[in-house]
A = this chain, B = another copy of it.
């Protein structure tokens, strides 16, 4: 299943509210690391490998290339594990599952854990289908470095892994249309802290996509406004954001990678919306904008 409820809705490009929970000196340093990650991808064209769904696999590859990286897609454990030795990071998206994934995906996750290989998980449609649930549960013992999803996916995964109680998980349902990302803030923070315990160098991140995106490393929480409502009118905005997050993860620490990718997508979405006349031309302009945005344009975006 590929359900793309990834949505952005505002065009608030004002970054005067930046210092909400982040010291401004810290933020300046963080912005420099974001700009450096974007520069490094453009200079080094790192390989990020993907095991992703069939609906948006082409857009994932094209978005990674447009951001400056290179792409390789595979589904066979022998192939994926071989290629991981030359890829800077991997991306796993549990959208359209085939029967053999039930064994293949946990096997791959265990191999990544053994070698300390960094990877991004997109838990698409978490909570739907017995096979998907089994796979996502299995990842608990060999978890990713970054999880990127929408609010309900993040809550479903954190619940599935026993990190938050089903009570907490069910509470936000009523407010989902109003403020869905904030409803997942605690789940995201708890999940990121859990991932960090397993991460080779103790660093991890969770990114929640929504009207105002949220990124956390388990300690600090950053909110990233902006983007375009048209993102929800093409398939694969969220999936390809996950892929590009892996591209940045190949050259940067998890928090910086998650921030850089989300900021890039928000800016590219705004540009594409202004230039397009519908979802067909929106996707074309989105890929062009991913290619043309500069490290500075990305790093100087609003962060609260």
Residues of A bordering B, CB below 8 Å: 1-5, 49, 53-59, 61-62, 65-66, 70-76, 78-79, 82-83, 95-100, 125, 128-132, 232-236, 276-281, 283-292
Contact = CB atoms under 8 A, between A and B. Distances in A.
B97 A99 contact: no
Contact of A96 (B5, B73, B129, B281): B73
Contact of A72 (B2, B277, B280, B286): B2
Contacts of A76: 97-99, 129, 131
Nearest to A85: B128
Contact of A54 (B54, B128, B132, B279): B54
Given A1-B79, A58-B235, A98-B100, 14 more contacts: A2-B61, A2-B73, A55-B57, A55-B73, A56-B58, A62-B283, A65-B233, A65-B279, A73-B95, A74-B129, A79-B131, A79-B132, A278-B287, A279-B288
The 5 closest A-B pairs by CB, nearest first: A280-B287, A278-B288, A79-B129, A278-B291, A61-B235
23 contacts: A1-B49, A1-B73, A2-B71, A2-B72, A3-B71, A3-B72, A55-B61, A61-B235, A65-B235, A66-B279, A66-B280, A74-B96, A74-B97, A75-B98, A76-B98, A82-B128, A82-B130, A83-B125, A277-B292, A278-B288, A278-B290, A279-B287, A279-B288
A283 B288 CA distance: 10
Most buried by B among A97, A233, A280, A292: A280
A192 to B, nearest CB: 27
A270 to B, nearest CB: 15
A70 to B, nearest CB: 7
B66 A125 contact: no
Nearest to A60: B55
A75 B97 contact: yes
Given A65-B234, A79-B1, A291-B279, A73 B58 contact: no
A250 to B, nearest CB: 15
A131 to B, nearest CB: 5
A288 B280 contact: yes
Nearest to A100: B99
Nearest to A127: B82
Contacts of A233: 65-66, 291
A41 to B, nearest CB: 13
Contacts of A290: 278
Contacts of A1: 49, 72-74, 79, 83
A125 B3 CA distance: 28
Contact of A82 (B74, B129, B235, B289): B129
A174 B61 CA distance: 28
